[in-house]
Each structure stands twice: as C-alpha cells, then as structure tokens.
Amino acid sequence: MLIEDRLKELRDKINAKVPAGITISQVEFEGPELVIYTDEPKKFADQEDLIKVLARDLRKRIVVRPTILEDPETAVTKINAVVPENAGISDIFFDPDTGEVLIEAEKPGVVIGKNGATLREITKNTCWTPKVVRTPPIESSTVKQVRQYLRSIKDERKAFLRTIGRRIHRDVIAKDHWVRVTTLGCCREVGRAAFLLTTPESKILIDCGEKPGSATSTPYLYVPEISPLSSVDAVVLTHAHLDHCALVPLLFKYGYDGPVYSTPPTRDLAALLQLDYLDVVKKDAGRQPYTSNEVKEYLKHSITLNYGSVTDIAPDIKLTFHNAGHILGSAVAHFHVGDGLYNIAFTGDFNYQKTRLFSPAVSSFPRLEAVFMESTYGGSRDLQPPREEAENKLYEVVNRTIEREGKVIIPAFAVGRSQEVMLALEEGMRKEKIPKVKVYLDGMIKEATAIHTTYPEYLNTDLRNQIFRDGLNPFLAECFVQVDSSELREKVIGGEPCVIVTTSGMLSGGPVMEYLYALAPDERNTLIFVGYQADGTFGRRLQKGWREIPMGNRETLVVKLDIETVDGFSGHSDRKQLMNFVHHLQPRPEKIFTIHGDEGSTIDLASSIYKRYRIETRSPMNLETYRMV
Amino acid sequence: MLIEDRLKELRDKINAKVPAGITISQVEFEGPELVIYTDEPKKFADQEDLIKVLARDLRKRIVVRPTILEDPETAVTKINAVVPENAGISDIFFDPDTGEVLIEAEKPGVVIGKNGATLREITKNTCWTPKVVRTPPIESSTVKQVRQYLRSIKDERKAFLRTIGRRIHRDVIAKDHWVRVTTLGCCREVGRAAFLLTTPESKILIDCGEKPGSATSTPYLYVPEISPLSSVDAVVLTHAHLDHCALVPLLFKYGYDGPVYSTPPTRDLAALLQLDYLDVVKKDAGRQPYTSNEVKEYLKHSITLNYGSVTDIAPDIKLTFHNAGHILGSAVAHFHVGDGLYNIAFTGDFNYQKTRLFSPAVSSFPRLEAVFMESTYGGSRDLQPPREEAENKLYEVVNRTIEREGKVIIPAFAVGRSQEVMLALEEGMRKEKIPKVKVYLDGMIKEATAIHTTYPEYLNTDLRNQIFRDGLNPFLAECFVQVDSSELREKVIGGEPCVIVTTSGMLSGGPVMEYLYALAPDERNTLIFVGYQADGTFGRRLQKGWREIPMGNRETLVVKLDIETVDGFSGHSDRKQLMNFVHHLQPRPEKIFTIHGDEGSTIDLASSIYKRYRIETRSPMNLETYRMV
Ligand SMILES: [Zn+2]
Ligand SMILES: [Zn+2]
Ligand SMILES: [Zn+2]
Ligand SMILES: [Zn+2]
Ligand SMILES: [Zn+2]
C-alpha cells in the first residue's frame, strides 16, 4: 500500500474514534511515532484514555500535537508573563519533535500552579505542551549544547523524522522469514562492539565502538553484509562507552543517513565522549577518524527512547530499552522481530548487582528466544569482592594516607566509576568512616556528573529519593571541589591532605599525569586503582611494580608513593552475577551468545551456562553470521 | 603493481631462463594460465623441463602457444594431407583456449606416426599442438555441440579469458586475513547447494543448484553477502547434478560475468541436464527461470580443469579438483587460501567405495584445515548393502521376472545410476548370472552414456583397462538397445521378456510412465527401484504400497506388477563410508561441517564424528557464516 493511502486509512480510523468537536488536521509518521495534529490538543488531552485506546488499536506510538505552535521566542515571553517570578525558571527548552516545552525551574510547583492552572494557561496561550522539571543541581554544558543544537536544526530534523517515519512504516514485502545476527566486532575480545541484526526486510546495527588501545582496529564495516551503509535501517546504541559508540559518527561519514536510537542520557554522554575521543586521538598525534561535524550529524540523526517504550524501528522490528545497571542510560536492547516471530536481547554491558547509582539490570522480558550477553568477567575465576567490602578497603586506604598527611590519587573513567567512588567517599565522610577532607574532581568528571543529575529518573530509587525527597544530593556535598585551572591544580598539589579523583582511568594521559608526577616522590601519598588496567597502559605497568618513570631529558622519576588496587567498583557483572542473570532470565531463552570478553572468558562462560542450564550457547568469532530462526 | 608492469616483469624473468634462439613474442594472462607466445613452440617443447621450471619459479600454470596459429579450415586440410587415411580420423577439434588441436581417430597410433613423426609434421605445418584421442565409441551430440559452440565464439572467449586472467592476477591489497564460508542453501536439507567462500580479497561461489520437488526454493542469492553478483570472482561446480548446477545459468541473467570452473565432463553433463531441466519445467507448465541463452552464457564462461591441477582462481585462492567417485567428473573442490593461510575442501556429493565406474573419493590432500562434507546418508541407520549384495538381488529379481516371461522396468537417473545398472546387467549376462535378454535404454540415458565414453580418463582404472586394453567396452555390449521412437517403444512393450532402463528416476514424468502404464496390469512384470524415491513423488507412493493409478476420465489403472526395491546402487557414501572417509582424511582437519542431508542426518553425523574423532563439527543452518580463520 502507498504510504499516503496508509496515512489516509489511519486518519479515517482516528476520526471514527475521536468525539465530535475534535478536528484532526493531519496525521503523519515522524520517526517511530504517529503524530496526530489537531487544533484542539487540550480537548484531546481531556479524553484521558483516547490516546491509549488509539495506540492499542492502531498498534502505534501516538503523539498529539497542536496544528499551530507558537514561535518559541514569542512563547518564552508569554510563559515568563504567566509564571510567577519566584518559580525561578532557569531554562526553557522547546522540543519541536514532541511539541513539548521543557521548563526548568527551582520551584516546579510554582510553575505548575494550583491544580495545574498555570500549565493550562501556558497551553492555551502558546499551544506548546509544558513539562516542568526541577533545575538540575549542576548545570551540564553538554546537555545545554545538545539541546541548543537540536533547536537550531529543527526544520531539517522534522524533515528527517518524516522520512524515517515513512521508511519505518513501509510495507513488508519479503516472503521469506529469517532472522540473522552477524558479528562485526567484540567477539572473543573486548572492544569495537558492532552487531548486525538482519531480516529479509531490515538491517539493524547494534553499537559501533572502538577497540581501546588499538587505533587501527575498527569493527568490520567493509564486509558486504553491511554494505552500502545506506541499506542499514537503524543504529541502536546500548550505552555511551567508547567501545560501543566511538565510531557511530564515522557511519555518517561513510554514507549512513538513518536514525541512531539510544536513551536520552546515552545521547548526551556519547556526544561528550566522542568529542573527548577526538581530542585524545589528536593529542596522541593520531589521525582523527572523523571530526566534530560528524558528531553533529550523529546528534541530528539521534532519536531517544526511554526504558520500557516499545518502538517500531523497522517494518518488522520493535525495539525496547531496559535498564542495564552499567552506567547512566545504559540499556539492554530487546528486539521483537515480525509478528511474534522472534525475540532477541543484546545486553550491552550490564551489572546485575545494585550499585549506589543504579538498579540491577532487567532480566525479565515479555518474550525472549536469544541473548547476546557480555562476558567481561566471564571466566570462572573472575570474581569481584562485594561492593561493601570494596568500599571498606577504600576507606581503610584513605584513612591510612590522610593519617600520615598524604594525598590520595584515584584515576577513574569520567563516566560511571567516578560517580560511584564519589558517592562512596561522600557517605564515608557523612557517616564518619573517613575524615572530612576535600575531594578534588579534575578532568571531565564534573561534566559527566552534571549529566547524571540532569537525568535523575535514570538513577536508582534510593538515590533519587535521597536527592528529591530528602533534599540530600550527595553530588552537591561540600567536600567536592572542581579543579578547573592550573593554578588550582598547583594549590591542590601543594595543599592539605586530600583525595583527588581524576582522568584518565588508565594513566594514559589527562590531568592525572600532572598529579602523579608531583606526588609520586612522596611516600606518604597513595595511588588507588579502582578500575581495570589494560595491558600496555602506564597504569598496568605501575600496578605490576614499575617504580621508575622516564621523564625525558634522561631524567627518571622515582616512584615512592604507595600503590593500591581496590577491586569491586566495576560496572560489570562478575562471573557469579553473570550466571545469576542467566538463572533469572524470564522467559528462559533458547540460545545464549557470549561476547565482549577475552577468548577464555567467553568460552568458559558459554560452556558453564550450557552445563548448568542446558541452554544452547555459543562463543562466536568476529565475522560470523548466526541464523536465529 | 599495474598488471602491465607485472606482465613485463614476468616476461623479463622468462627471457632470462629460455635458451638463446627462442623468442618470446608475448606474455599474457588467459584465465588461470600464463600464456607464453613464441615463434618457436617446437624448440620450446624440446627443452623438456623448461616449462616445469618456469611453472615452479613463477608459481603459475604455464602454457606455450605459437604466435601465429594456422586458420582452422586450412589446418584441417593440412592435417588430412599428412595423416594416412587408414587412421580413421572422425573429428578434428581446435581449442583456441589452449592452441591445441584434438584429433579423434579410430587408430590413434597411425595419427601419432613412428616415434611421433606425424605429430611433429602437423605442428610444423600448422603451429597447432596436436593431441590424439581414440574416437569415442559412442558419439555424444552434447559434446559435439558444446565444442562447436565454443569454436564459434572463440574471439569473444579469448577476450573473456584475458579479462579473467588479469582479474585473477590482480594485486592483493587487503591487510586483514580471514576466511569465511556463508551457507546459501543445502544445509539441513538436500538440494539448492550454494556456498560462498570469502576472504577480504575474493568471493567464490561453490555450486548453485535447485531444490528437487520445490520449484520456488532457490539458494538465498538475494542476501548482501553475494550482492552484487558481479562482485563474485568465480563459480566452482563440484558436479553436474541439478541440485548442484541447475541455477548456474541464472547467475548470468542476474549479472554474473565471471568464470565457472568444473571438470570437462561436468561442463558437458551440466549443459545437457540444464537444457533438460528447462524442458521439464516447461512441461510442468512452470516458469522457466532462464532460457537456453543463459546455458550458452554458462558455456561461454566455463573453464575446465582436470583432477589434480592446482589453479589460481583469485589473487589469494588456488583451486584443485579431486575425484569424488559420485558421478562422471564429480569432484571434491579443494581451496588453498593465501600463502599457506588456510585449506578447505568441499566434498560435493561423494562415494567412498569403489564402484563399477569410479574410484573411491580422494581423502588425502597436501593440506587441510576444514571440510564441508555431504551427509545424504549421515544418519546412524543409513546403511547400504555392499554393492555385490545389491547386484545379486538385482540378478535374482531379473531372473525371477524373465523366468515367468515378464519384463523388468528400472527407473533411473540418466547420469550415474543408469550406467552402474547397465554395467551390472552386462556383466551378469557375460558371466551367465542372468539370461541374455535385451536391455532397452530410453530417455537421456544413451546421451549420458556417450559422454561417459568421451572421457575414459574419468572412469576407474579397471573399466578403462577393460575398454582400451582388453577392447571390451561394456557400454557397447550388444544387449543394449537405444529406444528412440514411439514405434520402437511399442515394440518393446509388446515384445519378448526384457529389461528397460529409463528416466525419470522417481516416476515424475518421462518415458518410464509409458512403460509403466502399459506393463502395470501384468503381474509377471517387475518395477525395480534402484534409487531414492523422494517424498511426494509418484515413485514413493508406489513404493509405499499404492496400487491404483488415476488415469483421468475417472479411470484408474490397477497396478499388478511386482514392485521391488534394490538398495546399494547409490552414488553416495553410506553412513559407514562417511565415517570411514573422515577416518582416512589426510591430514586430519580441524573442523568438519556436515551439509547436504536432512536435519537429523547432518546433526547425527556431526555429533558422531565429534564423539569418535574429537574433530570440531557443526551442522550449519542456511544463511549462516562461519569464520574459518
Ligand atoms: Zn561499558
Ligand atoms: Zn563495553
Ligand atoms: Zn541526514
Ligand atoms: Zn549428486
Ligand atoms: Zn547432491
């Protein structure tokens, strides 16, 4: 059927269901959604169940928009006129994708007004649908810039969403029924995640990352399965770590022109980390695989979905993200193929234990036949101490160092581990397990933390409650001090005993090096590794016992500071949690593929799962294709 | 390096090695060969080891051709003038691909002359290199037509071979090293054989067959792995059965324009069976997937290789055919990838026991890491009686039928099984195990038999010796009578007790039906099944016990004739022979993939091989890709 006929048919169906007095001016696919344009969005909204009924009957995600939206500049003036000044509006963000206006305010209640009276006034005056959020406690320049950028290209983006919408809702023409997965990277290795899910109708690329420590190893993007890139329907990002998202912008350079689906925090963190990746490559005098222009292309083509939202991303494929517990916004990507034909989940990286920031990964799905699961700690001896034990060891080392008037350096990745360590330190001080010293944050950590506080709904309930109900935002604790100048860095180095949390996590550059050079000769200080140190990194060498650092000019720096490793802050499930995850999978899948781990770990995990649960397992190699059904 | 520079370099190397007095006029890649053009082909030929040395040093297949070849018409006159008339020349065939002239004669010795004097005379007079073969005892019109056709397009073909030659010898540019196999059909099923062997540099398609009994099931030629078809470097045919070659002409319709490698008998049998396939489809009122024009395209692009000849077919792939013992010209295709990177064999269909026609399949290879092996009789209970037992049962049934004055109908495939049965019957009569009755051959059997006698070097040594040394060509035994008219068919039906060997093998049409309708009502007659009757065929129904044949007009024919099944004439290895083959594989491969069998058989065989030999096995599904290295 022609897409125009299809839209007309949908419009007729909708007209038949809406009560008299509501006029439908237009019906259009925009991205994965069916948008109903009406002159009476408020009347529509009053019919509380109407949208739900339409969504169920038409089997589409429905969005209702006013036919005419007030011009944003005028709307701002009108909103400011209606909302009392003491609301403390800090930002107003118009999202033309959704027809919503996001109002950030110190006091959301004042913006809402008595029984929502102020909100209704805003709708009446501007036609935009207002959403109110508390002003994030720490402002993220990334989030601000991403929003500004998307606003600046709103017309182009609308056209893009319509094109994609029509493509998603095209007719299914193939007669064959099969589902295949091709491994383009990340098999029997950690890094360059890239998996291609294909049906006779559609092609979906899941992740497209770099291989850390190997500038030349990209996923196998040149094989015919994925050529030309314009034949790919959608890219789906599980999370923002570079081994999963670094090369997404490259796809646009090579001809991809479709959507990239992720959660909202993943979109913002990915852009932040991609830009940082370009910086690091440049500093290493490497060839940048793409420029910030392609990062913009990525943002232009990004479509965000929240956990649990079932979304058409191809004529025969629905995607749902579920919490993966690994980092902010990390998701298990669940695909429902065909009309009940097949269900397959890609875990991305996941943590099956509760952490200070996140709930454990979701392990229940409406349906499930196959799982591609990470195996970073899949080896039978890859056990991590419990989080509490790890924290106690951290406290112990910090106490010992501060007592002897030393300073603690904790190298950490900006996203994930840093925030976990911050929360542990904050609670340690609040509960008087460690002395109340300053915790200096250097590198990208502050910005990453700010993004965390922009998306409180992606943190676990305890932390969210602590922040909003108890008003105790641990990220805002006064112990934390951002270091944003060389002068301050020097002051820190010459100052009181303290803790310094800084990037890079594996001592491969970044501000941590300055601290290390300055603090290494003093045996009172301590360097604490809280994360995995990859082979070949400077961090690994120190961990193995090197005690001399070549400084150029034939000088060497003798390392005298204490070096400690505290395991247990990992964002990954350890072996026991991986097995536990499989044990709790609902429903029990037919097949499990172990990926994202070294050869030994993936094979060991695959064979242990088979032995214990009698589920068919595979430890695939790169460049293989498996038939699911 | 540019191909012209490469050729110049080769020419310099050759010039450095040839003795003074031999001028090299040109060096050119033609198909897989490096052709050296010289004005003194005879001088070249006198240096016996020269070609061998060049082949070894340059690592190329070397062919030497005269710069100027006599025009074929003039050459014929000159040859006839030189060769004494009593040689009985029956055909002269010029092969411009090789610069050879094939002289068929009743008395080859007379053409050769004393110590080869006549041959030398021919070379001197015509510049063509003469090869002499005995006039085939039965003339094959297929072979004749194929040769005529190739002669008629010799200029076009020369251009094609040069293009392919340059393509084969292009520089290897990829830096990655991997070898993959994608299954496009014939997995967990019998039929539509099609496997894609790929490296970063090259794509080779092995077989491209139909699925018998399912007009719509073709190999998965639409998937991106093999798109566009013009990206395929070579098609390799294991043998001429339609489940392996029927859709090769279709490839040319869809844009393939490269070579198709096979043994010479496979080329001729394939063309014969493809044309017959088109006829059968037409009679079934089905849509012909291609026309005889595409069969011609196939022939135009065919390149024949004999067993044991190691041949470059892509910049990084060498192909060698080895006897597979299944039908005339059937081959195990062995691929050597890279410079010692990987070796993989596709068995095609094979027989690991000696038969009356063929030697057992080859099981030793210079190197071998992986095998894709057929599993038609791979189930643990798929045992066949020994050939002798099968023949005795055949004799017994024939004796019983002839004694009671009945006629025997043996439905059989034209290629393979028919000839085995013919030889068994001939020996049975010669050794007086059965009475000397006429054996009528109807359908394509005579033509297929003629092709067998054209290629005696593809028969086993015993049979070849019997034909040439002992002058006892069993195919020429007087018991065999070709039926080529309806009148004769009626005479046979109304005549003396006899044996009728005729197509089709599964009673799905063909002359066998006429015999059956006429002879079914008489209980003295016997129908003997010597081959597998597929589900859904009329043969299977009779085998299962049906005794009424609907004849249209509400009439039914009551079947009274005796129905017998004689197992053991199969051209496939049975379960025991399959295991035996694996046992004797030299060297022992790392991986075995079981294909070309129903799901149960392939899985059973794979798991039995693993259990007994601890070789990694897989029973792949269609549309999967396996990484070899
Ligand atoms: Zn990660
Ligand atoms: Zn990862
Ligand atoms: Zn675009
Ligand atoms: Zn066969
Ligand atoms: Zn076959």
**CA–CA dist B111, B131 (Å, integer):** 10
Nearest to A224 among B227, B623, B624 (CB): B227
Print the domain residue range for A208: 178-381+572-627
> Is A580 found in the same domain as A485?
no
Mutate to test the interface with A, among B223, B227, B233 (most CBs of A within 10 A): B223
> Is B484 found in the same domain as B541?
yes
**CA–CA dist B520, A123 (Å, integer):** 88
Q: How distant is the Cα of A346 from the closest Cα of chain B, in angstroms?
A: 19
pLDDT of residue A215: 65
Ligand 1 center–CA A468 separation, angstroms: 28
Residues of chain A in contact with residue B226, where contact means CB-CB under 8 angstroms, are 224
Of A413-422, A543-552, B172-181, the one with minimum mean pLDDT is A543-552
pLDDT of residue B139: 86
pLDDT above 70 for B67: yes
For A463-475, letters b (16+ CB in 10 Å) and e give beebbeeeeebbb
DSSP, res B172? P
Cβ of residue B623 closer than 8 Å to a chain A Cβ: yes
- Give the largest CA-CA distance in chain B: 86
Q: What is the mean predicted confidence (pLDDT) over B326-355?
A: 96
Decide if A180 and B227 are in contact by the 8 Å CB cutoff. Answer: no
Q: How distant is the Cα of B181 from the closest Cα of chain A, in angstroms?
A: 9
Decide if A624 and B622 are in contact by the 8 Å CB cutoff. Answer: no
Q: How distant is the Cα of A227 from the closest Cα of chain B, in angstroms?
A: 7
DSSP, res B28? E
CA proximity to A376, closest of A554, A73, A604 = A604
Q: What is the mean predicted confidence (pLDDT) over B511-519?
A: 93
- Does any domain span residue A66? no
Structure tokens at B190: 């019998």
Mutate to test the interface with B, among A623, A626, A628, A629 (most CBs of B within 10 A): A623
Ligand 2 center–CA B292 separation, angstroms: 55
- Does any domain span residue B145? no
Q: Is B12 annotated as a binding residue?
A: no
Decide if B225 and A227 are in contact by the 8 Å CB cutoff. Answer: no
pLDDT of residue B131: 85
Q: In this structure, are strands A234-236 and A260-262 parallel, antiparallel, or unpaired?
A: parallel
Judge contact between B271 and B246, C-beta under 8 A: no
Q: What is the mean predicted confidence (pLDDT) over B239-256?
A: 96
- Residue B215 pLDDT level (bands cut at 50, 70, 90): low
> Is A505 found in the same domain as A473?
yes
Ligand 5 center–CA B282 separation, angstroms: 23
- Residue B390 pLDDT level (bands cut at 50, 70, 90): very high
CA proximity to A328, closest of A309, A355, A293 = A355
- Does any domain span residue B140? no
Task: Give the SS3 label for residue B108.
Answer: helix
Q: What is the 3-state secondary structure (H, E, C) of B543-567?
A: HHCCCEEECCCCCEEECCCEEEECC
- Does any domain span residue A421? yes
> Is B421 found in the same domain as B285?
no
Nearest to A178 among B227, B623, B625 (CB): B623
Q: What is the mean predicted confidence (pLDDT) over A417-435?
A: 95
The DSSP-derived string for A566-595 is -----SS--HHHHHHHHHH-BSPPSEEEEE
Ligand 4 center–CA B423 separation, angstroms: 19
pLDDT above 90 for B19: no
Decide if B625 and A623 are in contact by the 8 Å CB cutoff. Answer: yes
**CA–CA dist A610, A618 (Å, integer):** 9
| Other C-beta atoms lying within 10 Å of the C-beta of residue B509 | 14
Q: What is the mean predicted confidence (pLDDT) over B178-199?
A: 97
Residue of chain A whose alpha carbon sits nearest to that of B183: A625
For residue B339, give the CATH number of its domain. Answer: 3.60.15.10
Ligand 1 center–CA A613 separation, angstroms: 26
DSSP, res B288? P
Q: How distant is the Cα of A176 from the closest Cα of chain B, in angstroms?
A: 10
- Residue A136 pLDDT level (bands cut at 50, 70, 90): confident
- Does any domain span residue A146? no
- Give the Å distances, CA to CA, from B444 to A389, B11, B191, B358, B540: 82, 49, 22, 21, 22
Cβ of residue A621 closer than 8 Å to a chain B Cβ: yes
Number of H helices, E strands in chain A: 21, 28
Burial class (CB in 10 A: 0-12, 13-18, 19+), B284: exposed
pLDDT of residue B51: 83
pLDDT above 90 for B21: no
**CA–CA dist B471, B450 (Å, integer):** 17
> Is A123 found in the same domain as A96?
yes
Q: Is B49 annotated as a binding residue?
A: no
- Residue A266 pLDDT level (bands cut at 50, 70, 90): very high
Ligand 4 center–CA B241 separation, angstroms: 5
> Is B612 found in the same domain as B583?
yes
> Is B480 found in the same domain as B416?
yes
pLDDT tens across A17-73, in order? 888 888 898 999 999 999 999 887 777 777 768 888 898 898 888 888 888 778 888
Whether the link from the prior residue into A504 is cis, omega within 30° of 0, is: yes
Q: Is A244 annotated as a binding residue?
A: yes
Q: Is B244 annotated as a binding residue?
A: yes
**How confident is the prediction for chain B on average, in pLDDT?**
92
Task: Identify the domain boundary among A565, A587, A616.
Answer: A565
- Does any domain span residue A150? no
More confident residue, B535 or B162: B162
Judge contact between A64 and A41, C-beta under 8 A: yes
- Residue A99 pLDDT level (bands cut at 50, 70, 90): confident
Mutate to test the interface with A, among B173, B621, B629 (most CBs of A within 10 A): B621
Residues in contact with A389: Cβ distance below 8 Å, sequence separation at least 6, in sequence order: A568
Burial class (CB in 10 A: 0-12, 13-18, 19+), A530: buried
CA B431 to chain centre: 31
Residues of chain A in contact with residue B178, where contact means CB-CB under 8 angstroms, are 623
Cβ of residue A623 closer than 8 Å to a chain B Cβ: yes
Decide if B625 and A224 are in contact by the 8 Å CB cutoff. Answer: no
Decide if A623 and B178 are in contact by the 8 Å CB cutoff. Answer: yes
Task: Identify the domain boundary among B537, B565, B593.
Answer: B565
Residue of chain B whose alpha carbon sits nearest to that of A219: B176
> Is B224 found in the same domain as B108?
no
- Does any domain span residue B558? yes
Quick one: residue B43, left, alpha or beta (phi over 0 = left, psi -120 to 50 = alpha)? Answer: alpha
**CA–CA dist A277, B78 (Å, integer):** 78
CA proximity to B181, closest of B343, B364, B330 = B343
Mutate to test the interface with B, among A199, A624, A628 (most CBs of B within 10 A): A624
Residues of chain B in contact with residue A225, where contact means CB-CB under 8 angstroms, are 224-225, 625
> Is A619 found in the same domain as A561?
no
Interfacial B residues in 195-234 facing A (CB < 8 Å): 200, 220, 222, 224-227, 231
For residue A129, give the CATH number of its domain. Answer: 3.30.300.20
Domain count for chain A = 3
Element (H, E) at B133: strand B129-134
Task: Give the SS3 label for residue B525.
Answer: coil
For residue B32, give the CATH number of its domain. Answer: 3.30.300.230
pLDDT above 90 for B538: no
> Is B465 found in the same domain as B529?
yes
Ion ligand 2 contact residues with beta carbon within 5 A: A 243, 349
Q: What is the mean predicted confidence (pLDDT) over A613-621?
A: 97
- CA dihedral (B159, B160, B161, B162) positive or negative: positive
Task: Give the SS3 label for residue A602.
Answer: helix
- Does any domain span residue A482? yes
pLDDT above 70 for A413: yes
Decide if A627 and B622 are in contact by the 8 Å CB cutoff. Answer: yes
Q: Is B326 annotated as a binding residue?
A: yes
Task: Identify the domain boundary among B135, B165, B188.
Answer: B135
> Is B586 found in the same domain as B443?
no
Q: What is the mean predicted confidence (pLDDT) over A75-80?
A: 92
Q: Is A584 annotated as a binding residue?
A: no
Mutate to test the interface with A, among B623, B626, B628, B629 (most CBs of A within 10 A): B623
> Is A588 found in the same domain as A544?
no
Decide if B622 and A621 are in contact by the 8 Å CB cutoff. Answer: no
